[in-house]
Structures are given as structure tokens and as C-alpha cells.
Structure 1
Amino acid sequence: MLKTITLCSALLISSASWAADTTPTEPTAPVRSVANVDLNRYLGLWYEIAKFPMYFQRNCVADTTANYSKNPDGSVKVINRCRKESGEFDQAEGKATVVDNTQNSQLKVSFFWPFKSDYWIIGLDTDYQWAVVGNPNRKYLWILSRTPSLPEPALQAAQKAATEQGYDLRQLDYTQQQK
């Protein structure tokens, strides 16, 4: 227990000092998605590395993933999964559609019809090993990885993609992933 508390304290301190150095001033430019996304390469399992705290993820304590696959109609099936405090998994299934003329970098995601949310890929590793997803009003942000942890240089690159878009990383919450 003490080891866990010490590790968490060290992570919080290092995260706070990093965020203090990279917190953007008031954003003036609109959020931009990446130029294009090869949807077939993007499909598959992603691990949540960090996120802005969200009401609908309030019961998630660890092991959060998103799995994307193609539906027969060309839309994208989204399965979000996380571990709750009880140890059980919670899962939600949704559907995403590509926004026209965005080269697959902007989607509309719905978990509860008729509500849809913007899902913009604003940072993407050239090898599709990490992605940064946000929305135009900067209220949502996720850092995703193909593996349960992200090496420090890759994490810094993902964080930089977010700060360059005007996201304030002081509210970033890191996700515990069992390996």
C-alpha cells in the first residue's frame, strides 16, 4: 500500500511540474484534427492512458479500453470497457460515423440515440501506436495507446499534440492499466 501511495505521489508531482511548464495560454486558434486517418489501421484495441475526467466514466477505476471495428454499413462499432471499483467490468457499445470531407479524422459517436458527440483525432503517431482524441470545445481529451503503457517519449509527443491544440493538461487524469 505504501509503495502504491509513494508511486502515485511521484506521478502526481512529476505530472504537475510537467503540466505547469506546458499549460497553454488562452487558446485562440480552433482545434484541428489530423490531416487524414487510415481507418483500417486505426481500428482495433486501444488502451486509455489518460483522459479529462468525464461524468460517464465516473465509475471507471482502471483498465479502460476502446475497441473499434467496422460495421457492415461502413460505420464504426465502438466498445468502451473499464473496470469498476467492485472489480467487475462495465461496457458500453456505440456507433461512430465519419464526418464528410475530413479524411476519417473527425467522427460523430453515439452511445445513446439521438445524442452524438464529436470525436476528433487531433494527434496520431505515424505508426498508429498512440492517438490523441478531443473535441472542438476542448472539454474532452483522451490519450490512447496500442499497449497498456506508453513509453515516456511517446507520452510526451502525445501531450505535446494536445497542448499545441490549446488543451490545458492540468486536468489530465492518468488511467491505471494492469499489465
Structure 2
Amino acid sequence: MMKRMLILSLPALLVACASSQADLATQENVDLNKYMGTWFEQARLPNSFQRECIGDVQANYVMAADKTITVTNRCQAKDGEVKEAIGQGRLSRSVEPADPAILEVRFAPKWLSWFPMVWGDYWIMKLEGDYQYSLVGTPDRKYLWVLSREKQADPQVVNELLDYAAAQGFAVQKVVPTNK
């Protein structure tokens, strides 16, 4: 169990290395209450911390009274096991005034939360269909996800979001679709 938690905590350390480049456009007027709930991954830029995930990739977000967000990521692994990582999200502390489209997440243990390197960027770049689709990336353009509320998304909307990401400088030719 500890080994799995260490492996699943690695994403926060890797994403945390992302530098903040303010030239990445984000969605205006994000309502985090509407953003909460379950999202299904449709596509992503390959990354080392999701290497074992072969399908059924999803994230669930729940906001606490103190405005922190519990993040629960799950996926089906190559061996058939369901992998799960639980982390925390918050408004980015590097942006003033606070912008609900610019978040930070960590999957490292809470006792390390004071250490800036454990927090990774999570920028909501674009929303479509009244919070039915979300394009999330990092300002260094290393990480990108297309998410939807439904397990089976409209391929046209997914492609439109990827076109938008390409216009923002992401290497979308490297994007891999997520197995359902």
C-alpha cells in the first residue's frame, strides 16, 4: 500500500516542477462549485505518473468548507487493478488576485504541504457546454488533459479543445486518447 501511495504521489512532484508562465490563457469566470464532481479523461499528453493507466481514467473533486479541494484520481492499470491517488487542490498562491481557473494540486503527504515544490499547476484553460468539458494544462506546456462529464465524449468537442490547446503552444501531435 505504501509503495502504491509513493508511486501515485510522484505526479505532484513532477507536475510541481512546472514553471509558471503567465502567457497561458485560462477560462474566465470559473465557478469552482460547478467544476466539482467527476470528470472522465478523454485524452492527455503522455506523462510518467500515468504510465500504468490503460483506461477508465477519472478524477473527482470535492470542495471543503475552507475552499480546499479533495482530488481523487483513479484509473485501470495494466494488471487490472484500480489505482487511486488522493490529493489536495487550492487556489494558486502565486497569482494575485486569486483566479479560480488557476489552481495548484499536491499528492504528497500533508506534512509536506508547506514545501512549494510539492504543489503542481492545474490551470483550467477552457470550459465547454456549461461545465461538460474541460481543458486543463500547465503553463510550461508539459501536461495537458481533456476531460468530460461523460465517459464517452463527443469527438468533435474533444478535437476542438485540442485545436485550442495547439493554438496555445501545446504539442497536441503527442496527445494520446484515453481508453474507456
Aligned to 1:79: 72
2:50 to 57, 66, 69: 57
Aligned to 1:104: 100
Q: Which amino acid aligns with 2:57?
A: T
Aligned to 1:164: 167
What are the ranges of 5 or more consecutive residues in structure 1 without an aligned counterpart? 1-28
What are the ranges of 5 or more consecutive residues in structure 2 without an aligned counterpart? 1-21
Report Cα offsets for 1:76-118 as digits up to 9, x if no partner: 1100000011111000001010125243000010101340100
Report Cα offsets for 1:151-171 as digits up to 9, x if no partner: 122112211221121111111
Q: Which amino acid aligns with 1:153?
A: Q
Aligned to 1:90: 83
**Which has the higher mean CA deviation after the structures are superposed, 168-177 or 150-159?**
150-159
Identical amino acids, percent of aligned pairs: 37
TM-score by length of structure 1 reads 0.79
Report Cα offsets for 1:102-145 as digits up to 9, x if no partner: 43000010101340100001111141111010011000000001
Alignment partners' CA distance in 2, 1:102 and 1:50: 28
Alignment partners' CA distance in 2, 1:102 and 1:174: 32
Rg larger in 1 or in 2?
1
Alignment partners' CA distance in 1, 2:35 and 2:119: 20
Aligned to 1:7: none
Alignment partners' CA distance in 2, 1:152 and 1:47: 14
8 A Cα contact 1:122 1:161, kept in partner: no
Alignment partners' CA distance in 2, 1:120 and 1:79: 17
